[in-house]
Amino acid sequence: MEKKRVIFFLFDHVHLMDLAGAVTVFYEAGCCGHPYELRYVSPYTAPGSSSGLGFTRVEPLDAVSVQSDDIVIVAGMDLSKWDHSNDGTWIPWIQHAAAAGATVCSVCTAAFALAVAGLLDGRNCTTHWGYTTALQQHFPKLQVIENRLFVKSDNIYTSAGISTGIDLALFLVEEHYGPTFAYMVAKDMVIYIRRDGTASQHSIHLQHRQHINHQIHEVQDYITHHLHTKLIITELATMVHMSSRNLTRLFKSTTGTTIGNYIRDLREEKAMQLLKDGQKLAWVAKTCGIGSTRQLGQLARKTGIQAKMA
C-alpha cells in the first residue's frame, strides 16, 4: 500500500509545538498500522525554531512536487521575526499546492502566511486566540472565526494554535482511516481526544465539538455518556459551576446549537447506529434515552432502517 504523504513547511523561527504536535500524530499513526511518508521543506537554507533549536535534513521547496493527495502543513512561527525576503519563492509554491488540490493546513500564526498567499480570501478561518483580531484587521477579506479548534474550508484548513495542531492532525487521520483508528492514535499518544471514538465524519460530535471551551466540553462529555438517563439542564449547570441561564447561553454561542437539540441529535444518531447493527428496537430506545419505541420506529422508517421489533 502506497503511503500517504505529509509535507511540513517550516518558516524560520518556527514554534516547536506547532510543528511537533502534528508530526507526532502522523508518526504515531504509523506505529498504529497506517504509516505516512513525512517530508520537511523550507524556503530557508537553515531554518531554526523560536526557542533556538535548529533543524537539519530540511529540503528546499523545489525538491518536492506537491500532488493532489498530499497534505501540506505550515507550522506557526514568531511573527515578530518573520523574514519576508523569500516571499517570492514560497508564495507560488504554496499557491500551487492549493491549486493542485492538496490539503493545505496552517497551525497557529501560519494562518498569516496562508493569508499573505491569498489562500484565505473569502474563506472562514481561525488562528490563535491572541491573533484573531490582528488577522481580521490585516486581511479584511477573511472571515476569521474565534473559539474554534480548527476550521475547514474546502481543501484549506486553519487551526487555532499550539496544541490544536494535534486536533487538526487527528481529524485528518480520521478522514483517511476512520474515527476508531483516530481514537487509537490519540490513546497511543496519551491525550484527550475531543471527539467520540465511534463518531462518523459528519457526526453531530464533530459538528459541535470544534471549540476550546473546557466547561462546554465537560458538559458534552457527560451528555455523551449519559444518554440513557434523564438529562436536566440545572444539574448540568451545577456540574460546571454556573447558572442554567448562563450554561444555556454559553452552550448555544459556543457550539451553534441548543442543549436540547444537541441531546436529541446525539440520541437519534446513536439509535440509528445501533439499529443498523441489528439491535432490537426496545433495547435501543432504552439505551439512548428515547422514551417511545413508536417514535424511534418512525424515525427508523424515515431513514430507511429496518428495525428489529423483538
DSSP string, 109-123: GGHHHHHHTTTTTT-
**Residues 92, 241 within the same domain:** no
Residue 181 has a pLDDT of 85
Backbone angles phi, psi at 71, to 5 degrees: -115, 130
Residue 26, pLDDT > 90, answer yes
* Distance, CA of 159 to CA of 110 (rounded, Å): 9
Q: Are strands 59-60 and 36-42 parallel, antiparallel or unpaired?
A: parallel
Position 199 in a domain:
no
Position 198 in a domain:
no
What letter does residue 58 receive in the DSSP assignment? P
Position 303 in a domain:
yes
The CATH number assigned to the domain holding 226 equals 1.10.10.60
pTM over 0.75: no
Residue 200, pLDDT > 60, answer no
Structural domain of 19: 4-182
Position 188 in a domain:
no
In the chain, the percentage of residues whose pLDDT exceeds 70 is 92
* Distance, CA of 169 to CA of 67 (rounded, Å): 19
List the grid coordinates of 295: 417514535
Position 175 in a domain:
yes
**Residues 37, 148 within the same domain:** yes
Position 239 in a domain:
yes
* pLDDT higher at 248 or 302: 248
Position 248 in a domain:
yes
**Residues 48, 134 within the same domain:** yes
Q: Are strands 150-153 and 156-159 parallel, antiparallel or unpaired?
A: antiparallel
The 3-state DSSP class for residue 222 equals helix
Count how many domains the chain has: 2
**Residues 173, 258 within the same domain:** no
In the chain the beta strands, taken as DSSP E runs, fall at 4-9, 36-42, 59-60, 71-74, 103-107, 124-125, 143-144, 150-153, 156-159
Indicate the pLDDT class of residue 201, thresholds 50, 70 and 90.
very low
**Residues 159, 74 within the same domain:** yes
pLDDT (tens digit per residue) in 108-150: 999 999 999 999 999 999 999 899 999 999 999 999 998 788 8
**Residues 20, 162 within the same domain:** yes
Position 209 in a domain:
no
Residue 306 has a pLDDT of 67
Residue 216 has a pLDDT of 92
**Residues 58, 154 within the same domain:** yes
